[in-house]
Amino acid sequence: MRDYQKTKGELLRELDALRRHVSELEQAQSALRPSEKQLKDLFDNAVVGIYRTTPDGRIIMANPALVEMLGYSSLEELSQWRNLQKEGFAPGYTRSVFIDLIEKEGKVVNLESAWLKPDGTTAFVTENARVVRDESGKTLYYEGIVQDVTELKKAEETLKQYQFMVESAQDAIFFKDLNSRYIVANKKALEAFGLDSEQVIGKNDYEIMLNKEEAKKNIDDDNRVFQTGKPKEIIKQMTGADGKQRWFQAIKVPQFDNKGNIVGLIGVARDVTEQRKAVELLKESEQRFRTIFENAADGFLLADVETKKFHNCNKPICKMLGYDEEQVKNLGVNDIHPVESLPYVLEQFGKQARGEQLLAKDIPVKRKDGSVFYADVNSIAITLAGKTYLMGIFRDITERKKAEEVLRQSESRYKTLLENLPQKIFLKDRNSVYISCNENYARDLRIRAEEIAGKTDYDFYPKELAEKYRADDKRIMQSGKIKDIEEKYL
């Protein structure tokens, strides 16, 4: 009996201890359980939108963040004018996807949508929601959390635009980290390497380029940008995967983080291979022109069309004028022609400048010592650095004029001789057409001497006699020998 009572007492004590422990647990749970006020504060101050709607989309609960997110002034206004299932979605977005998912799966996770605000702007959101059903499985309402991602969406669109511009650029554009590894390389950059994105991204120039010396120079240029923190412009040669060498004009610009630390660089490179070829050809052409310019037999003078001052000259014109090159460059058109000839010279200069004529003949040119020579001047209008010049090509015709004068004098003497001979003298071509005759012969034909050109014997003699004359002419020309012929002459 004593043992039973002792056991019973022990059990009662243990039962009391257990009750106290349960009471303590209940107190602890009560302390951990949020109060209604705490839940309301959390609901009202949440930065995300929280809602509850009926299955047909009528809003029965929404926190201030959702009201503001959708552009309304109060829950009452939102509930009155907005149905979350039926209206207010941007083109391309419908609520059918939401309904299908939540009814089938019981929830939706990170569903993207675009909700129209009353002012016509769009709020891009991601939505997580669940369906609440009764014991029979009937849908009572939907509860959801909405995150406004409009700014993120705008940033993504801006990024896409930048990516599009980078990819569409006609220049090679690339980004490198501090280890000179390529982070981004656009289409033109990949074309320059002759590789695809997987062969370039994450690698440095040593791993990509065939020519290791070119790779070393690239990385050395990168390091100078990292060390100085300043952009660097370079002209570089690069061998592509196809073995072809190309020239690029590039600039590398350091990139900084928010604290001002260099985190990499951006590079822009333009393929200037064809331009360099053109420049080389231009240099060769210029050298050839310079050689011709300096070694031509004719003199070259480049004159400003407006001021008529000389801009350039070659050695032959300096020799013709008796000046050195610097002295000629200090002169103008008015300084190298006799004063009395200037009106005519300037008239010719104007016509050539306007393109009305190319050649000005017999232009008197005054030397440094005051003596005068004559030149034929061909002209070419050219434009240099936006200014128009007239290039005159001077050919000294002094000796030619002397020869022409001698020829004129000789011609005059022979003409005088021919006109005073008693013989009838004429000149025919190989077709027996008259070219000229002396006055003695012309008088017999009752014409002036200059009228005989182009005529034949048929114009002056009977047909039978004309044919005999032509036959005699042909026989003489075929034999090539001088013959005395006695002919009937009327």
pLDDT of residue 43: 81
- Could you tell me if 288 and 297 are in contact, meaning their C-beta atoms sit under 8 angstroms apart? no
Q: Which residue has the tokens 């309304």?
A: 72
* Percent of residues, the chain, with pLDDT higher than 70: 90
Which comes out higher in pLDDT, residue 83 or 346?
346
What are 213-234's pLDDT values in tens digits?
Answer: 989 999 999 999 999 999 999 8
- Could you tell me if 345 and 338 are in contact, meaning their C-beta atoms sit under 8 angstroms apart? no
Same fold, 169-276 and 296-401: yes
pLDDT of residue 229: 92
Work out the average pLDDT over 332-351: 92
Which comes out higher in pLDDT, residue 283 or 97?
97
Return all residues near 418 (Cβ < 8 A) that are at least 6 apart: 425, 438
Residue boundaries of the structural domains of the chain: 38-150, 169-276, 296-401, 421-479
- Could you tell me if 392 and 312 are in contact, meaning their C-beta atoms sit under 8 angstroms apart? no
Two structure tokens written together for 345? 């010279």
What are 285-306's pLDDT values in tens digits?
Answer: 667 767 766 777 788 898 999 9
What are 234-268's pLDDT values in tens digits?
Answer: 888 888 888 888 888 899 999 999 889 999 999 99
CATH number, span 296-401: 3.30.450.20
Could you say which of 3.40.50.12710, 3.20.20.140, 3.40.50.720, 3.30.450.20 is the CATH number of the domain covering 38-150?
3.30.450.20
Least confident of 126-140, 346-360, 470-484: 470-484
**Residue 432 carries which DSSP code?**
S
CATH topology of domain 169-276: Beta-Lactamase (3.30.450)
User: What is the Cα–Cα distance from 436 to 64, expressed in whole angstroms?
Assistant: 119
Closest to 474 (Cα-Cα) out of 425, 429, 427, 423: 429
- Is 313 strand, coil or helix? strand
What are 14-51's pLDDT values in tens digits?
Answer: 677 777 766 766 666 555 555 667 767 778 888 899 98
What are 359-412's pLDDT values in tens digits?
Answer: 998 899 999 999 999 999 998 888 887 888 998 989 988 888 887 777 787 777
